[in-house]
A and B are shown apart, each in its own frame.
Chain A
């Protein structure tokens, strides 16, 4: 299972992508439980705001796009975990 986080937008408009292969992590069971607990079906579209980041998060079969202002709680935790796994 792979998790892909793409951050686009921002004033710079530079797209950055971070990936995690769950099976290769030291705690894959915890990763899986965490991913299954995310509110994938509760994400709704929001109006874009100039120069804020947009996050596209993919983990088959799920795919959501979140505005920076919605990057709170478990979603923020997820992005931080994925970035940390990439040494960020």
Chain B
């Protein structure tokens, strides 16, 4: 049968038809050149259907992930591809390493590949999350993006890493917490989708720092007491006076350099920075919820990816947040999650309440009942010195 009947023949014009999803799945898995077109068409249909279901359900934004998501795959299985932009600013670049291929001589490629694996391992083994979208989205990354590019980012579909300028920044794959940070932006995109401005943007940033740190700690089997709680350690060259980009344990202390100045992150609401730059200071005020997470971990001891990580993960993926949630709303949501998971007035619940009080997001007060998740109004932020 060389000619497939309409509507499965992709050469025939598209039309609104109903093909049962189970049939599309079977067709999508067909092997061999004889069925290649039918399989490809079925995969396209499944992808379109998935997008439509997302839209109808008002779900999270759907990033096109390519047909590789659909063939049989064991949940949690790695599916990594690293590409090389060769110093250009064009994506994705030339594919240089696919899943299962041995390491090569390029440290950026190897670090990106391993970092994606460590991130997938944390989210799958500890939280049962299969990739950033929860549905096995292939993890793709591009290294050597741009010339002396001092940045790394998640573009909605893939990780992108610059090489740094060599004077202030080393290559951005050098830090596992940076890789975890960027992929977590993908997780946030598919879950709470916090707006990247002001306090919701600072929460978006903080969540990336939290899980970036947890990826590193989990991979290195470091307890809360053993971990550095630094984000981007090793990213600065030897010419910079600084340990890392940010310190979750002591925000504002990560660097103090003649050229870069002093780490401007506040450690509590008393130092909250009002600014128009950086989308309202998302990388500055993230220090406040960062420290709150550290304080919870410090209070509970042990491994931070366990109880503290579970509370933050369930909050991020639950229903207690909206796109514009602020610090107080996030604090209330984490307290509610801790009470639901571990009990009202449990050690974990108390640790969460105490942490948010310490950083000034909520006023110190007796623990609210589970049925009253709304926490006291936070104090007004101080105006920063100009």
Q: How far is the CA of A12 from the CA of B240 in the complex (A)?
A: 14
Assess the B277–A50 pair: CB atoms within 8 A: no
B241, chain A: closest CB distance, angstroms: 13
Per a CB cutoff under 8 Å, which of A8, A50, A54 touches B208?
A50
Q: How far is the CA of A48 from the CA of B198 in the complex (A)?
A: 11
Among listed B78-86, B107-115, B149-157, B367-375, interface-contacting one: B149-157
Contact A50 B153 (CB under 8 A): yes
Q: Which chain A residue has the least Cβ–Cβ distance from B287?
A: A13
Most buried by B among A9, A10, A11, A56: A11
Interface residues of B in 186-201 (CB under 8 A from A): 188, 196-197, 201
B93 vs chain A, min Cβ distance (A): 17
Determine whether the beta carbon of A48 is less than 8 Å from that of B182: no
When C-beta atoms are compared, the residue in chain A nearest to B280 turns out to be A48
Q: With an 8 A cutoff between CB atoms, is A49 at the interface?
A: yes
Known: A49-B196, A51-B154. A11 touches B172 (CB 8 A): yes
Indicate if B204 sits at the interface (CB-CB under 8 A). Answer: yes
Partner of B201, one of A8, A14, A15, A48: A48
Flag whether B178 is at the interface (Cβ < 8 A): yes
Interface string of B295-333 (1 = CB under 8 A from A): 000000000000000000000000000000000000000
- Binary flags per residue of B135-166, CB closer than 8 Å to A gives 1, else 0: 00000000000000011111110000000000
Once A48-B197, A50-B204, A51-B182 are accepted as A-B contacts, the answer to whether A12 and B278 lie under 8 Å apart by CB is: no
Is B98 part of the contact surface with A, judged by Cβ < 8 Å? no
CB-contact partner of A13 in B153, B169, B196, B284, under 8 A: B284
Q: What A residues does B182 contact at CB under 8 A? A: 11, 51
| B249 interface contact, C-beta 8 A | no
Q: Is the CB of A11 within 8 A of B204?
A: no
Residues of B within 8 A of A56 (CB): 276-277
Taking the closest CB of chain A, its distance from the CB of B61, in whole angstroms, is 12
Once A11-B245, A13-B245 are accepted as A-B contacts, the answer to whether A51 and B151 lie under 8 Å apart by CB is: yes
User: Taking the nearest CB of chain B, how far is it from the CB of A67, in angstroms?
Assistant: 10
The contact string, 1 if C-beta is below 8 Å from chain A, for chain B 350-362, is 0000000000000
**Known contacts A11-B245, A12-B169, A49-B196; A54 and B152 CB within 8 A of each other:** no
- Is B283 an interface residue when CB atoms closer than 8 A count as contact? yes
Interface residues of A (CB under 8 A from B): 6, 8-15, 47-54, 56, 65
